[in-house]
Structure 1
Amino acid sequence: MELEPHEEAEPFLGLQTHHVRRHTVRWYEDARTTLSGVQFPKGVTRKHSLVAGGSLLLIITFLLAASQHNITKEITPLNASGICSVSRLNPFDIKAPINPDIQRLTAFWPNLKEALVDNGKELPQLEQPAWMPDTPTDDLIRGRTSLISSENATIIREQHAGFLRDMPAYPEETFKGRGVVMLAGGRYSEYAVTALGVLRESGSKLPVEVWRRDEREEKHGWCDEMEKEGMACRRLSDYLDTDILAIADGKEMKVFTMLFSSFEEVFFIDADNMALQPPEKIFESKHYKKTGVVLWHDYWLYDSIDWLDYVVGLSGNRSQALWQQRTYESGQIAWNKRKQWEALLLTTYYNYYGPSLYYTLLNTGHAGWGDKDTFPLALRALEKPFHAVSHPPADAWVNGKVGERRTGMLQMSPTTATGNASMGNENATAAFLHATTVKWSHRAFLCDGCLPIWHTNRVSDAFRSDWEKVNGELHPYLHDNIRLIDPEYLQWMPAVSTASSKTLDAELRIWRAIEHAACRSPAWRHGRTCVVARKYMMNTFAFTFVMEDRPKRNTTEINGGEAWLPKMEENACLVNPP
């Protein structure tokens, strides 16, 4: 039986319930109309028939669900022949984090919330600056000192000191183990399905918690699917009232996912960030073991207000000391909560009042307004040690547009203890590809006739992918079978394995994850999109497909002038290029 293409029109848990209810009511009404003129046997009423029909409907629904489950099993990638990648099959039997004891995990929250509220009542507020496309001039940065008066600066300083006095102690016997934390709600789930696939393709054995704000941001069926790969869904709304946060695009939620995660040692990764090496390597580095925190630098220098060091208690007056130092990013963070608990709480304070004050104290609006520099600010304010990776970020460019159009930033593995980002990238190897500009999503890239699934008023609203946009930036790449990342980035790629001298081509791993989402994921797959993805991968990179039960039938065979392309429901192994 050939599967019909999935149109993905019902992403939300609440929406799915409404959809089933709507069609059940329609069936009931149609049944009443049909049965209204029927003569029933003695003792059998229309009500009895409708009840029986309803029972039959439930049985049919159950059987269809069972059939869908069998289909899901059938398209699971195979590995018995040894020719297929097995990383997505969870060969290490990674266990998903167990359902947490939320009451225990949040026992410290009432005291922390009280400290946050009590030490923020008198804080002044600053408006978010308008986005600036150009790097701010020195004069503009200096002129920002007038944003707050000396009196208000003193109030901020006093409230900051009050919070430091009121912070709750580390909650013993609360957090355990190591794991990855990712914030992936709404449309960011589309990026996360790729990033999580690449994480497993990297060989990472860490359990994962994938966080959303609430159930409105969940893709139906995806949580159950992730559990098989050692991942678990978490809702921030189960831990605190998210209405207390000034949520716009979720910048202030990141620290709360780290705070409430069940892990004691957290590796946070953005939903659009691809791990090229297992993050557990960072946990085992001497830099992390010594300090409990590893951070990575961003492209830009600080443009913070000169009152910043004063208000956090680092200086007795205004200071321009930060202005020649490189800022940080928060696309990946390694953090030991036991070792750096106070700094995590102070970061929470900065984000709690981030949109109304601290984000603007830190940034003019040119680049990075948000949470990213609150983490090192807290560590500095408490004079806590941390490791900053010395290698600066490198660029990954759109193919053929080096120096013109960036697709993302490469962050390097930590190799030195200097922490000043002054050394170059000679002999550096990339650990992450953060898709800061071009977001890797099978839907955004390749959807052929898909419906919108995120925050739309009508399911008939148009959705157009890069594949469909004739004038879109990536349209010619996808239609002419051109790779998206310029090969220049390969100079920073690590070896495929410790036993191999072959260099990793990260774009191959990314496309493996995209193929999985488009073709094999029960929650995400879509028939026509799967065809587009597989054809592009075959023609651009020379990926092949092999049938387990027919190893001689593969995409290198020519049949009628066309290479064989497996259908979405066929049990085909995806084989890397030679």
Structure 2
Amino acid sequence: MFGRPHRILSIILSAFGLFVTVTFLRRLHDGSIRHAIFTVSPSEANPPTPQILAFWESWAKVIDAARPKIPAIELKEVAQPAGKEPDNERERKPFNLSIGIPKNDIELLRQSHDKLVGHANFSKVDEQAARLFSGIGIVTVAGGSYFAPAILSIRMLRKTKSTLPVQVFLRNKAEYEKKICQEVLPALNAECFVIQDHLRKDNPVKVEHYQLKVLAILFSSYESVLYLDSDCIALLDPKELFDSEPFLSTGLVSWPDYWIATEDPVFYKIAGVPSFPKGLPARSSESGQLLISKQTHLSTLLLAAYYNIYGPSIYYPILSQGAAGEGDKETFLAAAVVLENPNYRVRHRLGALGFHEDRKFIGTAMVQYHPGDDYAPRDPTSLKQDRPLFLHANSPKMNIAHLLAADRVFYKGTEDRLRLWGPKESTTKMIGYDIEEAVWIEIVEMACQLDETLRDFHGAWRMCERAQRHYRETFQPEATALPT
């Protein structure tokens, strides 16, 4: 009794299904439902472009084939550069400590290194950049406990009136937080990508921590990238960096660290450099910020990726010998030097912020200066000072949930509230305004707005109230109103 109506209903449903399918395919073709496609990617993050995926897959195979054929390097002695703070304009000299790599291992490392830089297509790789990448923007690595500093950094960027887009890279899809990536960050003109989505499932190399930075830069769709660590805060709109010297003529700008460089001179023999290079800055690099053009330095990034992928066991100890901050920090400049690619290192000495405890200075943040000011010819009669450009709040990270868990961060001796970056007078003299108060206004808003949203904030006891109290008692003890 149900046969004929049932057949009619089936025909109607089939026709409707065909209509929906055709409509879907049309909209897929014209891109109008691209966002829906994004949300069903492996991590729900924005997917990598097919061109960048294909590019990396081909070079990942070359890098894998060029794997070092020696055991992991074990340091017998650690370089001790602390306290040696030469003028940054001095020329680098070979460090007087050597790992003592056996001659046979040096030759094996040289042969492996040459498999990459001597590859038939390596010298032409920069020519591919214009096809693969476009535009300018900021790249950072976040996720987990680094999400809060990254959001703070982007919020402070917007306070400079900068409209530069931001691409936020996460290590894997476990770090993807839907509300942060689909609501909080897009409202700040930022978007999420997952590094794991760019790697083959059978990828033989485990990448994490310091190794993530160079891959984030490589996988970004931007041709020109300002990389900022998640805890690095822009003090001025950095857009002008892309349109001026020294970036225009070199395509790579890096900044100094506190200490002298401590690479084992054997590195240059491994890399095929005939002698210790002349003209290198005496100080090591601080890679909390890096400015790079892929049209000039895609080869530099590939070689830096090689140094980082095989970094923990081989190239980190060779390039730093266990000195403070060992990691990716030396790999970018080293790659540019080996390939004889142009670069500029800021000469202005790194500034330090912090507080005194028991007559000892406790450094909590680093200040880096504007490369354009640094590059300009010096007028000895001018009183104009180089402008502070970045504040790298490296210790402690400005994650309110973690700061609240560390009571000593908030109190100095008794019940006095602690200013992490020093007295108002000294920070204002260096930066031009009270940067710590400006940052805490944003921290308070984040503590109160994201306490139920950001995964790392979950379980932090009365976070909004405690953040408000710290702000009020530290920066406005006489005021009754909270910041808005």
**TM above 0.5, one fold?**
yes
Which digits, 9 at most, give the CA deviation of each residue in 1:262-317, with x for residues without a partner? Answer: 1111111001111111221321221111111110011111111121111112225x
Rg larger in 1 or in 2?
1
Distance change (3 Å), C-alpha of 1:237 and 1:541: same
Distance in 1 separating the partners of 2:325 and 2:278: 19
Report whether the alignment pairs 1:489 with 2:427. yes
Distance change (3 Å), C-alpha of 1:320 and 1:110: closer
Structure 2 equivalent of residue 533 of structure 1: 467
Deviation at 1:409, TM superposition (A): 0.9
Structure 2 equivalent of residue 109 of structure 1: 56
Quick one: which amino acid aligns to residue 180 of structure 1? I
* Partner residue of 2:253 out of 290, 294, 301: 294
Distance change (3 Å), C-alpha of 1:509 and 1:265: same
Structure 1 equivalent of residue 453 of structure 2: 523
Which digits, 9 at most, give the CA deviation of each residue in 1:74-122, with x for residues without a partner? Answer: xxxxxxxxxxxxxxxxxxxxxxxx9455322212122201210222253
Distance change (3 Å), C-alpha of 1:145 and 1:536: closer
Question: How many residues were matched structurally?
Answer: 411
Equivalent residues in 2 for 1:566-577, closer than 5 Å: 574-575=483-484
Report whether the alignment pairs 1:443 with 2:430. no
Q: Does the Cα contact within 8 Å between 2:47 and 2:197 map onto a contact in 1?
A: no
Distance change (3 Å), C-alpha of 1:121 and 1:324: closer
Report whether the alignment pairs 1:178 with 2:108. no
Distance in 2 separating the partners of 1:310 and 1:364: 16
Does the residue aligned with 1:333 lie in a helix, a strand or coil? strand
* Partner residue of 1:154 out of 107, 132, 146: 107
* Structure whose residues are more often helix by fraction: 2
Deviation at 1:145, TM superposition (A): 4.4
Structure 2 equivalent of residue 387 of structure 1: 344
Report whether the alignment pairs 1:236 with 2:195. yes
Which digits, 9 at most, give the CA deviation of each residue in 1:465-515, with x for residues without a partner? Answer: 12xx3xx2433489534432213233221xxxxxxxxx3221122112201
Distance change (3 Å), C-alpha of 1:185 and 1:197: same
Quick one: which amino acid aligns to residue 420 of structure 2? L
Structure 2 equivalent of residue 373 of structure 1: 330
Report whether the alignment pairs 1:326 with 2:259. no
Q: Tell me the TM-score normalised to structure 1 length.
A: 0.65
Structure 1 equivalent of residue 17 of structure 2: none
* Partner residue of 1:429 out of 356, 371, 387: 387
Report whether the alignment pairs 1:356 with 2:286. no
Report whether the alignment pairs 1:118 with 2:75. no
Which digits, 9 at most, give the CA deviation of each residue in 1:395-418, with x for residues without a partner? Answer: 101266786200111111112339
Distance change (3 Å), C-alpha of 1:183 and 1:402: farther
Gaps of 5+ in 2: 1-44, 85-93, 378-382
Distance in 2 separating the partners of 1:295 and 1:108: 26
Does the residue aligned with 2:249 lie in a helix, a strand or coil? helix
Structure 2 equivalent of residue 222 of structure 1: 180
Which digits, 9 at most, give the CA deviation of each residue in 1:198-219, with x for residues without a partner? Answer: 2222222111111111122234
Structure 1 equivalent of residue 152 of structure 2: 194
Deviation at 1:245, TM superposition (A): 3.3
Q: Does the Cα contact within 8 Å between 2:99 and 2:321 map onto a contact in 1?
A: no
Structure 1 equivalent of residue 14 of structure 2: none
* Partner residue of 1:211 out of 169, 172, 175: 169
Deviation at 1:179, TM superposition (A): 0.9
The answer to which of 503-512 and 229-238 deviates more is 503-512
Quick one: which amino acid aligns to residue 443 of structure 2? I
Quick one: which amino acid aligns to residue 126 of structure 1? I
Q: Does the Cα contact within 8 Å between 1:182 and 1:271 map onto a contact in 2?
A: yes
Q: Tell me the TM-score normalised to structure 2 length.
A: 0.77
Does the residue aligned with 2:292 lie in a helix, a strand or coil? strand
Report whether the alignment pairs 1:245 with 2:199. no
Distance in 2 separating the partners of 1:478 and 1:372: 38
Distance change (3 Å), C-alpha of 1:102 and 1:323: closer
Q: Does the Cα contact within 8 Å between 2:365 and 2:395 map onto a contact in 1?
A: yes
Gaps of 5+ in 1: 1-97, 420-424, 447-464, 494-502, 544-554, 557-562, 566-573
Q: Does the Cα contact within 8 Å between 2:262 and 2:320 map onto a contact in 1?
A: yes
